[in-house]
């Protein structure tokens, strides 16, 4: 505060003498004061704008700093870890937890197992590396650098350029003009997704213990963004897989073991049909190619019947994790931070990847349930089951205590607008048909943002009609996606199908769009080929969603998962707007296990030659401590690749064992019970 000098008496008298002059000028002072006040207000507004901009840039700088800090810490940790003697981490862990068991490869080597069958790995979606071969000016200096996988450094440096290059053409589903991105080849294509985050590396290392090396291991890398048939049209990937398997079988004299993971399961299902069919649509291998070349297909975390997560991803660019993040930091994902509207760009990018549409739920209401019924009806999330090592081969119920939840969850309602609609009796739900709604551009969308999505073509009436339909099952979600994203679904429908075949002898099923749907195609004529479904259980897995209209529907994605919707029970199935069932956090048990548990079990119309099928479940157990990393007993969708029990099963089969030698089925969930509830003609 400025100091104010007190007036002396003499000064008071002096000032009183000037009162007359003051009175003369009093009509001028108010005008000057008004001018000064106006100037002060303008200055205050300018200062406030400067402060706001400083705060905004401070937020941007803070975010850059945070990203830089996290990356720096990550690299320092990795550097220090790699600089350690190889025995030090194990030494420290053993001092805390006691001696660690031998890794499966070393254990089985001591038992005398050696490499026998050549092994082919088929990676899934997002886990395979992609590198740049041709790009626009903004990608200068990135020739043959990874744009997907590895460090993701270019994502932080030039995000808009990265999105432009990693996206595909919305009309063709192939490369945009002037851009060529191709899969990384070799075992390094998918051994690690990022530094320190393994995918196939642990399995490869354990196979190496019993004598495997690159001459008898092959990573069937492909561009996981494009449709399965287009990998052959553009890159001849299917032909290369065929020739590599033939070469490995001819060299070793033994049939191959195929190990697909996640979406790679669907990709190889497509391959087995493609390789039989005559050219030009197929590979011309003949009807007995698989019988001659494949001993077993060991599917890991296979979404045979799709995943509900694919619906939420295509519908609103969300899954549970993104929805929760948006609830914690409202507006962050929808803001113009870095001129990069995160979710809109994610939606625009992922909707250009035709492969994502391969994982839309298949089989409609027959498989996934309707408004009043679902196979998992009665399932209740329960507390962790204690593993009993003496009864691992026995089936354990995961339905918990039936009395602990009074309301039966209607899982068949994959999307419900409001928790009340998710729970209400179907007779009380009044729905409006959205398919006849009048679409139209919103004028406001021309000024909101520069990221176009198909929602900009719907108009307010179209958006409102979708919400007023209230409830969607697996069957009606196809109509929903066709309504909100017709261009995307037009491309996808040319390459994938989602129904159940009435008559597999119908000539239409010779078209490649049916080959990755196990309900609309036959397994190959290979009676001695074994098929395994290997997947994790014991983890809450997304099954259906509670949605709401976005408060900023004119500018942003108009629908959001309602994270405020929670169940009444503390351990209930509804959390943060998502209903959960048993699975591996990504693929529900129903999708991963049904085909081997029932659809292909014995001789059926989907498996006419009677190939043997086995269900091998791995009950999730979290790591005992931080030093254990991602755990050796994990059942999570990717972490299961480091599960010791799964790796041991793979190595034994690769060394010559059969499914019967492994003990047949090993089941912890209610997959057989749920499968029996599905009324499917076999």
Active site residues: 262, 584, 637
Half-sphere exposure of 423 (CA within 13 A, CB side): 14
By C-alpha distance, which of 147, 155, 153 is closest to 126? 147
**Residue given tokens 């940790």 in the structure block:** 77
Burial class (CB in 10 A: 0-12, 13-18, 19+), 573: buried
Ranges assigned E (strand) in 465-538: 471-472, 530-537
Distances (CA, A) of 431 to 416, 467, 472: 11, 9, 10
Q: CA 354, CA 493: separation in Å to the nearest integer?
A: 10
List the end-to-end C-alpha distance of the chain, in Å, as a whole number: 89
Q: CA 209, CA 198: separation in Å to the nearest integer?
A: 18
SS3 613: strand
Our CA angle for 142, 143, 145, nearest 5°, is: 65
Q: Centre a 10 Å sphere on the Cβ of residue 89 and count the other Cβ atoms it contains.
A: 13
- Tokens for 516? 């990755």
- Tokens for 267? 């990709």
- Residue by residue, DSSP assigns 215-232 as GGEEE----TTS-HHHHH
- What angle do helix axes 308-316 and 342-350 make, rounded to 10 degrees? 120
Question: With contact defined as beta carbons under 8 Å apart, do 477 and 545 qualify?
Answer: no
Q: CA 145, CA 132: separation in Å to the nearest integer?
A: 6
By C-alpha distance, which of 498, 489, 176, 516 is closest to 354? 489
Report phi then psi at 194, rounded to 5.
Answer: -150, 160
DSSP state of 449: -
Residue 471 pairs in a beta bridge with: 416
Question: With contact defined as beta carbons under 8 Å apart, do 209 and 105 qualify?
Answer: yes
**β-strands 574-575, 180-183: how paired?**
unpaired
Q: CA 116, CA 652: separation in Å to the nearest integer?
A: 10
DSSP state of 595: I
Helix (H) or strand (E) holding 611: none
User: Computed over its alpha carbons, how large is the radius of gyration of the chain?
Assistant: 30
Question: With contact defined as beta carbons under 8 Å apart, do 226 and 168 qualify?
Answer: yes
Report phi then psi at 173, rounded to 5.
Answer: 75, 15
Distances (CA, A) of 246 to 122, 220, 239: 16, 13, 11
């Amino acid at each position: 505060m400025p100091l104010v000098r007190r007036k002396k008496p003499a000064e008071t008298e002096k000032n009183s003498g000037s009162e007359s002059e003051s009175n003369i000028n009093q009509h001028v002072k108010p005008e000057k004061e008004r001018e000064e006040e106006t100037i002060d207000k303008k200055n205050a507004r300018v200062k406030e704008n400067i402060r706001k901009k400083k705060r905004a840039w401070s937020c941007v700088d803070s975010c850059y700093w945070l990203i830089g800090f996290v990356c720096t810490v990550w690299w320092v940790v990795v550097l220090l870890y790699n600089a350690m003697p190889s025995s030090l981490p194990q030494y420290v862990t053993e001092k805390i937890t006691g001696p660690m068991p031998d890794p499966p490869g070393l254990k089985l080597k001591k038992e005398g197992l050696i490499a026998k069958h050549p092994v082919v790995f088929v990676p899934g979606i997002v886990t395979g590396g992609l590198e740049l071969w041709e790009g626009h000016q903004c990608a200068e200096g990135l020739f043959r650098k990874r744009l997907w996988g590895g460090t993701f450094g270019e994502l932080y440096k030039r995000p808009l350029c990265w999105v432009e290059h990693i996206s595909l053409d919305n009309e063709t589903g192939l490369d945009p003009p002037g851009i060529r991105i191709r899969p990384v080849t070799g075992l390094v294509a998918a051994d690690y997704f990022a530094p320190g985050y393994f995918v196939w590396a642990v399995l490869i290392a354990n196979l190496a213990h019993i004598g495997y090396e690159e001459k008898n291991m092959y990573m069937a890398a492909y561009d996981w963004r494009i449709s399965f048939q287009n990998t052959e049209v553009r890159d001849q990937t299917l032909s290369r897989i065929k020739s590599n398997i033939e070469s490995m079988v001819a060299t070793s004299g033994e049939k191959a073991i195929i190990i697909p993971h996640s979406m790679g399961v669907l990709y190889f299902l497509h391959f087995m049909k493609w390789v039989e069919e005559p050219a030009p649509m197929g590979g011309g291998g003949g009807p007995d190619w698989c019988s001659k070349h494949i001993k077993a297909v060991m599917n890991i975390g296979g979404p045979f019947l799709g995943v509900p997560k694919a619906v939420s991803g295509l519908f609103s660019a969300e899954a549970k994790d993104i929805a929760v993040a948006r609830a914690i930091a409202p507006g962050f994902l929808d803001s113009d931070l870095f001129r990069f509207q995160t979710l809109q760009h994610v939606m625009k990018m992922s909707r250009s990847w035709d492969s994502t549409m391969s994982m839309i739920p298949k089989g409609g209401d027959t498989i996934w349930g309707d408004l009043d019924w679902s196979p998992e009806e009665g399932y209740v999330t329960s507390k962790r089951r204690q593993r009993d090592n003496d009864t691992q081969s026995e089936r354990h119920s995961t339905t918990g205590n039936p009395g602990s939840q009074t309301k039966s969850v209607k899982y068949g309602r994959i999307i419900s607008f409001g928790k009340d609609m998710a729970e209400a009796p179907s007779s009380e739900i009044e729905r409006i048909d959205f398919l006849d709604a009048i679409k139209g551009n919103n004028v406001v969308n021309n000024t909101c943002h520069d990221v176009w999505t198909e929602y900009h073509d719907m108009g307010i009436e179209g958006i409102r009609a979708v919400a007023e339909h209230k409830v969607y099952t697996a069957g009606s979600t196809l109509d929903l996606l066709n309504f909100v994203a017709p261009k995307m679904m037009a491309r996808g429908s040319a390459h994938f199908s989602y129904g159940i075949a009435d008559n597999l002898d119908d000539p239409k099923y010779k078209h490649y769009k049916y080959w990755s749907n196990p309900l609309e195609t036959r397994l190959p004529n290979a009676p001695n080929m074994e098929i395994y479904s290997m997947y994790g259980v014991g983890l809450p897995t997304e099954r259906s969603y509670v949605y709401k209209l976005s408060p900023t529907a004119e500018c942003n994605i108009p629908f959001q998962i309602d994270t405020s919707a929670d169940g009444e029970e503390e351990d209930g199935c509804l959390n943060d707007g998502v209903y959960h069932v048993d699975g591996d956090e990504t693929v529900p048990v129903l999708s991963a296990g049904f085909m081997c548990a029932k659809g292909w079990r014995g001789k059926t119309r989907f498996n006419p030659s009677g190939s043997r099928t086995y269900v091998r479940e791995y009950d999730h157990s979290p790591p005992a401590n931080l030093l254990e990393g991602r755990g050796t007993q994990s059942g999570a969708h990717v972490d299961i690749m480091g599960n010791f029990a799964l790796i041991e099963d793979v190595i034994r089969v690769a060394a010559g064992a059969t499914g019967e030698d492994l003990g047949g089925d090993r089941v912890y969930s209610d997959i057989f019970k749920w499968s029996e509830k599905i009324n499917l003609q076999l």
